[in-house]
């Protein structure tokens, strides 16, 4: 199973395929299968996907995911909480039911270079059915690399799941795995909202609506800071523990530097960069602030040019 690309993290999976694929492959009359394996490019994300895939090595029959998930949530959090089980049912039919044929690579605008092309953002109609299926979803994949925000479910459904997760907080607040999943689910909801917000900013820019663009841009910057604060609530999303886990494997000072470099580049750009800069969310806010100022300036310049052109036309007519 190749589930993650380049360490780009977002909640994503196809649980039904995982629960049936290995069994179907093994039972095929032309099968030469001897086992199952995982070759992810990034680890420590989407635990439910790797839990189920690991279990498939010991299964002789397809797994009924709808029955498996309630047992999984009890194992993961240590308690049976009805609202949490309801939340997982929603996630099973949305986040973990990606059937649009696209391999997932997180390209939400919150973690991408700013772009003023609104066609780069795909917006899923909220009128989609309960399970988030779209008949035209495959037609909307504009290229094989899919280097644009990926949305395959109604965002309102995931927000409903988040509310159910929060409702179980009183019973599970001491569970580290619950807190991790709560932070991750909140991050997922906010990241997808950032795409919608950015689309509105671009439309305001195209309409030369400086006031609306400035207001929405400020909201976007606040959203980036909110997500940064959110991720600081759990060590699973902090930079320090990530770097330390890499450095502690080193057997020399030189190895320690190399391992830290590897860890830093994997979660930023993953190529050889000679500049000493970190692509962290707070730094991204500064870049985006500059971009907002440039957009606002260009809108103001266009307004002046259009006004001067109108005055010139009027003089010419007279």
Collapsing DSSP states into helix, strand and coil, what is residue 14?
Answer: strand
pTM here? 0.78
Q: What is the pLDDT of residue 275?
A: 41
Q: Which residues contact residue 229 at a Cβ distance below 8 angstroms, ignoring those fewer than 6 apart?
A: none
Q: Given its phi and psi angles, is residue 197 left (phi above 0), alpha (psi -120 to 50 degrees) or beta?
A: alpha
User: What angle, rounded to 10 degrees, do the helices at 65-77 and 82-93 form?
Assistant: 130
DSSP assignment of 86-141:
HHHHHHHHTTTB--SSPPP----GGGS-----GGG-----TTS-TT---TTTGGG-
What pLDDT, on a 0 to 100 scale, did the predictor assign at position 306? 46
pLDDT at residue 115, rounded to an integer = 59
Interatomic CA distance for residues 267 and 125, integer angstroms: 31
Cα–Cα separations (whole angstroms), residue 315 to 305, 310, 312: 15, 9, 5
28-37 pLDDT, tens per residue?
888 888 888 8
Confidence at residue 90, expressed as pLDDT on a 0 to 100 scale: 97
**Tens-digit pLDDT profile for residues 39-78:** 887 778 899 999 999 999 999 999 999 999 999 999 999 9
pLDDT of residue 113: 64
The pLDDT tens digits along the chain (318 residues) read 878 776 678 899 999 999 998 889 888 888 888 888 888 877 788 999 999 999 999 999 999 999 999 999 999 999 999 999 999 999 999 999 998 877 666 778 887 766 555 555 544 434 444 444 433 433 443 444 446 778 889 999 999 999 999 999 999 999 999 999 999 999 999 999 988 888 888 888 888 888 888 888 889 888 988 998 999 999 988 889 989 999 999 999 999 999 999 888 877 766 554 443 334 555 544 455 445 544 554 555 444 444 444 444 444 444
- Tell me the pLDDT tens digit for each residue of 231-246: 999 998 888 998 999 9
Domains defined along the chain, listed by start: 15-237+280-317 (1.20.120), 243-274 (no CATH)
d(CA 232, CA 210): 33
CB of 188 within 8 A of CB of 11?
A: yes
User: By the 8 A CB rule, do 75 and 84 touch?
Assistant: no
The secondary structure of 38-104 as a DSSP string is: ---SS-SS-HHHHHHHHHGGG-SS---HHHHHHHHHHHHHSS--HHHHHHHHHHHHTTTB--SSPPP
């Amino acid at each position: 199973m190749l589930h993650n690309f380049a360490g780009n993290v977002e909640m994503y999976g196809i649980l039904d395929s995982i629960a049936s694929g290995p069994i179907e492959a093994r039972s095929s009359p032309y099968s030469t299968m001897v086992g199952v394996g995982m070759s992810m490019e990034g680890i420590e994300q989407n635990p439910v996907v790797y839990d189920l895939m690991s279990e498939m090595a010991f299964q002789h029959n397809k797994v009924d995911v709808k029955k498996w998930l309630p047992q999984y949530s009890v194992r993961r959090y240590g308690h049976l909480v009805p609202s949490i089980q309801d939340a997982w049912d929603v996630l099973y039919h949305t986040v973990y039911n990606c059937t649009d044929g696209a391999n997932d690579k997180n390209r939400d605008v919150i973690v991408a270079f700013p772009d003023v092309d609104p066609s780069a953002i795909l917006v899923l109609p909220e009128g989609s059915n309960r399970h988030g299926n779209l008949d035209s979803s495959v037609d909307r994949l504009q290229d094989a690399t899919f280097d644009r925000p990926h949305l395959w479910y109604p965002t309102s459904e995931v927000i409903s799941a988040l509310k159910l997760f929060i409702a179980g907080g009183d019973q599970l607040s001491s569970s580290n795995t619950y807190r991790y999943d709560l932070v991750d689910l909140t991050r997922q909801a906010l990241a997808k909202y950032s795409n919608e917000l950015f689309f509105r900013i671009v439309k305001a820019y195209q309409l030369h609506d400086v006031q609306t663009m400035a207001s929405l841009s400020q909201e976007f910057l606040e959203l980036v800071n909110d997500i940064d604060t959110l991720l600081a609530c759990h060590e699973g999303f902090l930079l320090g523990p990530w770097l330390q886990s890499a450095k502690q494997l080193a057997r020399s000072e030189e190895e320690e530097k190399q391992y830290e470099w590897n860890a830093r580049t994997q979660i930023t750009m993953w190529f050889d960069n000679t500049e000493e800069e970190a692509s962290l969310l707070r730094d991204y806010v500064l870049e985006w602030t500059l971009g907002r100022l440039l957009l606002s300036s260009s809108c103001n310049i266009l307004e002046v040019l259009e006004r001067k052109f109108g005055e010139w036309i009027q003089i010419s007519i007279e």
